[in-house]
Amino acid sequence: MDRAPPKWPPSHSQNKTKQTHSPNTLTPLIIHPSPISSMPASSVEMLRHTEEALAKLGYHTQHLIYQERHHTNSKQALEALRQKYPNTVWLLRSPTLTTLQWCYDNQIPCCIMGAQPSPPLFPGVDLDIERVVTQSIDYLKKLGHSHIFFIHPKGDTHGLTRMLQATQNLNDIHVHPLALPSDDNPRALSLIKKMLLDHPGFTACICTYFQHFIAVNSTLSAAGAKIPHDLSALCLYPDPLMDWTYGGVTHFKLDPKQAGLRMATIIKQLLSGQSLAPKSTLFFPTFKEGATCAKKTP
């Protein structure tokens, strides 16, 4: 079994020969860790701007889904991808540490949309997710909430690891994480119902995606409860459908065009054979208060 986590950070002092690539042969390839249908709307919009910018330059972007947990030997699976898609620059969306390590060791020309360790290995863009989670918790704490649910997608990406780390070792704040599957809605709803029943003393909830918020809201409604009277809730990622909610959902708003165009610039440079510094451009979204959070009642 090839599932042991890589040693981190890897050595940046290895004397490796830098590869150069012809701009006439390289094409962009976006590798997703989960079905595209499960992506937050902001990420979909960001990639749309990236693809449109690349299309104007004459590049056709390919997409594929690579889920590491479905492979007993991840190194062999990644090597098979390299053989199947030669002459490509990889855009890795929310990769695992194992995938990052393999791409680094094998000098894959790639960039990252999502979290990287420190120091980063590749150029890319990233949401300052630890700061977002921390600000969410601080906001709910100011409203008097000390027992908070944290709903996140099931997975093993490095970004998710960073999110969970930001919820740990907090003074006087108890955070209960819940991982939801992205491909089994009935199971997800069942897990939320059990969570609410098993932890009646929790008064607030941080939802990673808007679909998580909808699931929590519908589960509460079925039990005769509602947001924010019985449970305050906010979202980490925005969604256009939030504009259709009365009073609005408390969330963080990111400019997907700015991040998407930055991603396109990085890919364009890699496609032209340029060697880029391993640096992530951090974006921090704006906090937007809605009507879904309230002060804790005595």
pLDDT tens per residue, the chain (298 residues)?
444 444 433 343 343 334 343 445 799 999 998 888 778 888 899 999 999 999 999 999 999 998 877 777 889 999 999 999 999 999 999 888 889 999 999 999 999 998 888 889 999 999 888 899 999 999 999 999 999 999 999 887 888 888 999 998 888 999 999 999 887 889 999 999 999 999 999 999 999 999 999 999 999 999 999 999 999 999 999 888 888 888 999 999 988 999 999 999 999 999 999 989 999 999 888 999 999 999 998 7
Helix, strand or coil, per DSSP, at residue 263: helix
Under a CB-based contact definition with an 8 Å cutoff, are residues 296 and 203 in contact? yes
Q: Which tokens belong to 287? A: 């906090």
Q: Which tokens belong to 148? A: 């908070």
Is the model's pTM score more than 0.75? yes
Nearest to 112 by CA among 102, 126, 128: 126
